[in-house]
């Protein structure tokens, strides 16, 4: 058992030496593997950001109650106080018609045109935020129907179409990420397989001599398998570096996007499980590609 372990260690370092002796070819293979692993990982991170924002959209859910013209400031404030006492309501803020006009003036850029109006066309309104556990689309619709029935309310509105569109886009992105991961995984296997195939052809004479002196297929196969494993794992490590660099570039934009949807999400550096996952996946794909190539081409080499 100890002799077998020592032999595996020797073959492991021998395979590393083979990679070191062909630096450019090995570097190109590792770089292609790294890019193949980085692309689906980056897509996963973007989808994680989008899904987190859509999952926390409830904290930014806001119902707007446009009050009738007969409701004055005092009645509006009393209505706001009454609604604050209602279960499931997180906060209620009152915006008078004058404040709504001033807000529209600042955000629209139509200040000069608004000065020409004889009277304020905007109604006073209440802005309500439901509790997060009461902000599902069906619950929001129930609240809107309830508020619409109030005598002081002219119209109750809540735009949740963007949430549905966001969920649809996330679902499409998840399907695309799965397809891309499968295709790029197959690409990694083919890259490693082609690299190992070339290595077998370049060492054909050495393999024939080894078979002549009694070397088994398992003995000959072992360094090629380690080579595929090492190239895949190194590609995964390089992919990890690329992902970290991508996180640094994406973090400010992700924070700004999360702020637009009133989400506290921040793009975090991956945990230890994710850190180990890329090299493990890369090594497994490399080992599988090498196993396929060796199994296919080693049988064709026989001394004679």
User: Residue 63 belongs to what H/E stretch?
Assistant: strand 63-67
pTM above 0.85, yes or no: no
The Cβ-side half-sphere exposure at 298, using a 13 Å CA radius, reads: 23
Report the alpha-carbon distance of residue 45 to residue 243 in Å, rounded: 9
pLDDT, averaged across the chain: 76
- Where the chain has pLDDT below 50, the residues are 58
146, containing H or E segment: helix 137-148
The dotted CATH code for 62-159 is 3.30.70.3040
From the number of C-beta atoms within 10 Å of its C-beta (0-12, 13-18, 19+), residue 65 rates as: buried
pLDDT given at position 213: 79
Cα 228 → chain centroid = 28
How many residues are listed for the chain in this entry? 304
Q: In the chain, where are the structural domains located?
A: 2-56+164-300, 62-159
pLDDT in tens, 14-70: 677 777 777 787 788 888 888 888 888 877 776 766 666 555 554 556 788 888 888
């Amino acid at each position: 058992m100890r002799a077998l372990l020592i032999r595996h260690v020797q073959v492991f370092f021998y395979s590393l030496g083979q990679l070191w002796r062909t630096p450019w070819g090995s570097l190109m293979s590792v770089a292609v593997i790294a890019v193949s692993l980085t692309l689906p990982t980056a897509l996963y991170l973007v989808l994680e950001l989008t899904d987190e924002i859509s999952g926390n959209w409830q904290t930014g859910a806001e119902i707007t109650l446009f009050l009738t013209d007969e409701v004055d400031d005092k009645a509006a404030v009393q209505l706001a106080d009454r609604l604050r006492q209602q279960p499931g309501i997180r906060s209620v803020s009152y915006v008078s018609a004058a404040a709504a006009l001033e807000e529209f003036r600042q955000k629209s850029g139509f200040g000069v045109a608004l000065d020409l109006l004889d009277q304020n066309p905007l109604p006073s309104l209440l802005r309500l935020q439901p509790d997060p556990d009461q902000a599902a689309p069906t619950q929001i619709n129930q609240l809107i129907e309830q508020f619409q029935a109030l005598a002081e309310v002219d119209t109750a509105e809540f735009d949740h179409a963007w949430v549905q569109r966001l969920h649809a886009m996330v679902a499409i992105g998840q399907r695309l990420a799965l397809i891309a991961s499968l295709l790029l995984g197959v690409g990694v296997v083919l890259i490693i397989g082609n690299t190992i195939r070339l290595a077998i052809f370049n060492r054909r004479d050495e393999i024939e001599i080894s078979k002549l002196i009694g070397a088994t297929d398992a003995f000959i196969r072992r360094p090629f398998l380690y080579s595929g494993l090492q190239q895949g794992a190194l590609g995964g490590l390089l992919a990890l570096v690329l992902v970290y660099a991508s996180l640094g570039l994406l973090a400010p934009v992700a924070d700004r996007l999360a702020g637009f949807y009133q989400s506290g999400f921040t793009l975090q550096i991956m945990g230890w499980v994710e850190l180990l996952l890329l090299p493990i996946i890369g090594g497994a794909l490399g080992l599988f590609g090498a196993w396929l190539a060796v199994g296919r081409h080693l049988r064709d080499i026989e001394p004679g």
